[in-house]
């Protein structure tokens, strides 16, 4: 689901609609490479995250170490060797802080501790330490937009108007009115709706005011116009930076500020799964003030050694909007802003993907793109891009896009073994509250949060055999699990491992420019990675269910020879004799070095 351009009926539908607005451009190969080369000259020594593969861990569903059916930090610790063998550079752990778990951790009641369900602070420091021994960095999730309504700040804020914490949240007297939703002759101040359904305003009798919540009502928004809020949140981040975390994934970062006048949003037409009108989000999202905070945050983390990183949850309608979160030409905001265009266009359409990949390389003022196809909020990419018949090939194809462009790669647990979205079949099984309020139109996010499939034993090795995991294990665990796939040379898991290794060791794939090839081909997406003094690499993806034959002329890139040597290919594809005739089976991939 998306949450910043936000899930309404189906966030994917909303995203697809917004993506569809942008017409694919014809790419000029020379312009692209020249522009990238200029941008590259301005970059200095490269920080660790530039070439990294970052792996998202949803701790509830990764590995249960104590048999309570919920994953935990000791469980993550026990799987570090697996993560090392996969070749990743960092893990991002979604919130593991104390929380009533209404939004499964995104409702934090204490930012400087660990939820007992997941372990202790000691477990966390041990995990950071053990990961470091394996050269794996730990990135934490930081929820700045809101706290839990059980956080002591909110409990104080909601106790009286004169409490010093009162102004830490966003309050309004509302307007006079009667009828449904009115309290003491007052109604909410405007038409804003929560992304999770219903009015975004909740009445608190003790203070005779409404507070604003972009998400669940148990997640009151902090008032970022109060400098004390910034002081407190920066201090919690220092707490973790001092304990060695490598940076933060900033949750819902475009939502920090709201319009000071609390103006009504325009209705865009249609209703959400929860029955709310779909609104513009001009007054609750992407306000200029958000950027001031990020700039100060960037300066704060820069005072720590080791290239600490700020990663933003940035669902944006186009690359130009995305660039703003990097600070544009000033490069003084996020180092990595999640690009949800390539990975969430959800259609194997060559011109759309080509356009987005190319723009990410050329329209971000040289900032580093961060592609992502999967996370804990959206149906898995294998299902969104898959056609059912060729899903294994499509999973490998998506992994190729993720891992062989210039982008930093963000992956989500389970994508490397081809885990599929498994939504609950019955309302009574739904755990995610939006799946309950939105059923059956919106089944919630349980389907992409099912436990990691480690082996083919009962409970897939996630929990002990006699345990009831918090979400059921999908049937696919029997043949899609780490153990089975590790022993199958052509598995999705081995494809990921080999691609990550290639990305790490091949100089052109690691450092080279990314030049889109054959830009008018509607069926085959291909690009060249080219680094001075190094053999160039062509990456070719057949996006159709038909065999394709394609030829390349690389003379514009200074490559006269047509000889090519296979680096990787989907099983079944033949080694081409020359770049004049590269033949591809349906949805297959070819990666070759121009000789």
Handedness of CA 12, 15, 17, 21 (dihedral sign): negative
In the complex with ligand GLC, which residue's Cβ is closer, 315 or 590?
Answer: 315
In the complex with ligand GLC, which residue's Cβ is closer, 445 or 503?
Answer: 445
Active site residue 501: no
Site for ligand GLC contains 56 (CB under 6 A): no
Active site residue 251: yes
One residue of 64, 103, 333, 446 binding ligand GLC per CB under 6 A: 103
Residue 233 Cβ, how far from ligand GLC at the closest point, in Å?
A: 14
State the Cα–Cα distance between residues 530 and 508, nearest whole angstrom: 5
Who's near 50: CB < 8 A, 6+ residues apart?
A: 368, 408
Residue 371 Cβ, how far from ligand GLC at the closest point, in Å?
A: 17
* Selection from 334, 242, 249 nearest residue 293 by Cα: 334
Which stretch of DSSP H or E encloses residue 540?
strand 537-542
State the Cα–Cα distance between residues 33 and 523, nearest whole angstrom: 23
Residue 51 Cβ, how far from ligand GLC at the closest point, in Å?
A: 25
Site for ligand GLC contains 313 (CB under 6 A): yes
Site for ligand GLC contains 143 (CB under 6 A): yes
What is the DSSP secondary-structure string of 236-304? HHHHHHHTT--EEEEETGGGS---TT-PPPPEEEEE-TTSPEEE--TTTSS-HHHHHHHHHHHHHHHTS
In the complex with ligand GLC, which residue's Cβ is closer, 201 or 552?
Answer: 201
One residue of 55, 62, 92, 106 binding ligand GLC per CB under 6 A: 106
Indicate which residue of 64, 115, 214, 251 is catalytic: 251
Site for ligand GLC contains 11 (CB under 6 A): no
Q: Which residues between 361 and 390 bind ligand GLC (CB under 6 A)? A: 376-377
One residue of 57, 70, 91, 252 binding ligand GLC per CB under 6 A: 252
Site for ligand GLC contains 149 (CB under 6 A): no
Site for ligand GLC contains 3 (CB under 6 A): yes
Site string for ligand GLC, 180-219 (x = CB under 6 A): -----------------------------------x----
Indicate which residue of 313, 358, 432, 448 is catalytic: 313
Query: In this structure, what are the phi and psi dihedrals at residue 261, rounded to the nearest 5 degrees?
Result: -90, 0
Residue 376 Cβ, how far from ligand GLC at the closest point, in Å?
A: 6
Helix (H, G, I), strand (E, B), or coil: what is residue 586?
coil
State the Cα–Cα distance between residues 197 and 218, nearest whole angstrom: 13
Helix (H, G, I), strand (E, B), or coil: what is residue 416?
helix
Residue 243 Cβ, how far from ligand GLC at the closest point, in Å?
A: 23
Contact between residue 62 and residue 469 where contact means Cβ atoms under 8 Å apart = no
Contact between residue 447 and residue 423 where contact means Cβ atoms under 8 Å apart = yes
Query: In this structure, what are the phi and psi dihedrals at residue 541, rounded to the nearest 5 degrees?
Result: -125, 125
Residue 195 Cβ, how far from ligand GLC at the closest point, in Å?
A: 8
In the complex with ligand GLC, which residue's Cβ is closer, 229 or 539?
Answer: 229
Contacting positions for ligand GLC (CB under 6 A) = 3, 103, 106, 143, 215, 251-252, 313, 376-377
Point out the residues that are catalytic.
251, 313
């Amino acid at each position: 689901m998306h949450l910043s351009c936000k899930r309404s009926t189906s966030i994917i539908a909303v995203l697809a609609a917004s993506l569809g607005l942008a017409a694919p451009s014809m790419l000029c190969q020379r312009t692209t490479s020249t522009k990238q080369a200029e941008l590259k000259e301005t970059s200095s020594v490269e920080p660790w995250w530039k070439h990294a593969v970052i792996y998202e861990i949803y701790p509830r569903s990764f590995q249960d170490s104590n048999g309570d059916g919920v994953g935990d930090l000791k469980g993550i610790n026990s799987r570090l060797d697996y993560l090392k063998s996969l070749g990743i550079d960092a893990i991002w752990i979604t919130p593991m802080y104390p929380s009533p778990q209404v939004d499964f951790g995104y409702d934090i009641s204490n930012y400087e501790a660990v939820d007992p369900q997941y372990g202790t602070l000691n477990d966390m420091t041990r995990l950071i330490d053990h990961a470091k021994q394996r050269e794996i960095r730990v990135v934490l999730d930081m929820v700045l937009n809101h706290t839990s309504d059980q956080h002591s700040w909110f409990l104080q804020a909601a106790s009286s108007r004169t409490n010093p914490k009162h102004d830490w949240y966003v309050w309004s007297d509302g307007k006079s009115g009667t009828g449904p939703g009115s309290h003491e002759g007052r109604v909410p101040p405007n038409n804003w709706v929560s992304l999770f359904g219903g009015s975004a305003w909740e009445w608190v009798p003790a203070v005779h005011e409404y507070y604003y919540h972009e998400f669940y009502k148990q997640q009151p928004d902090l008032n970022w116009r109060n400098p004390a809020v910034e002081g407190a949140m920066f201090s919690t981040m220092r707490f973790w930076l001092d304990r060695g975390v490598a940076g933060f994934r900033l949750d819902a970062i475009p939502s920090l500020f709201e319009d000071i006048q609390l103006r009504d949003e325009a209705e865009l037409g249609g209703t959400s799964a929860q029955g709310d009108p779909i609104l513009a989000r001009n007054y609750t999202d992407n306000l200029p003030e958000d950027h001031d905070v990020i700039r100060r945050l960037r300066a704060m983390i820069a005072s720590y050694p080791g290239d600490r990183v700020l990663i933003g949850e940035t669902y944006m309608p186009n690359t130009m909007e995305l660039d703003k979160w990097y600070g544009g030409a000033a490069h003084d905001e996020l180092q990595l802003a999640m690009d949800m265009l390539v990975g969430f266009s959800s259609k194997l359409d060559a011109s759309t993907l080509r356009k987005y990949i190319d723009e990410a390389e050329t329209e971000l003022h040289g900032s580093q793109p961060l592609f992502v196809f999967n996370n804990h909020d959206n149906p898995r990419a294998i299902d969104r891009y898959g056609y059912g018949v060729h899903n294994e090939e499509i999973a490998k194809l998506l992994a190729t896009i993720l891992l062989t462009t210039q982008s930093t790669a963000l992956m989500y647990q389970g994508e490397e073994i081809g885990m599929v979205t498994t939504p609950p079949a019955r309302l009574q099984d739904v755990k995610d509250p939006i799946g309950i309020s939105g059923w059956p139109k919106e089944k919630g996010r349980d389907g992409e949060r099912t436990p990691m499939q480690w082996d083919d034993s009962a409970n897939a090795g996630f929990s002990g055999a006699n345990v009831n995991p918090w979400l059921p294990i999908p049937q696919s665990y029997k043949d899609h699990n780490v153990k089975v796939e590790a022993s199958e040379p052509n598995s999705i898991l081995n494809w990921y491992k080999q691609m990550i290794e290639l990305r790490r060791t091949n100089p052109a794939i690691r450092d080279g420019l990314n030049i889109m090839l054959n830009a008018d081909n509607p069926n085959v997406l291909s690009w060249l990675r080219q680094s001075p003094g190094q053999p160039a690499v062509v990456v070719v993806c057949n996006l159709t269910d038909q065999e394709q034959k394609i030829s390349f002329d690389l003379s514009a890139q200074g490559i006269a020879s047509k000889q090519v040597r296979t680096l990787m290919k989907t099983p079944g594809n033949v080694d081409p004799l020359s770049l004049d005739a590269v033949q591809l089976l349906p949805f297959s991939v070819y990666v070759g070095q121009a000789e």
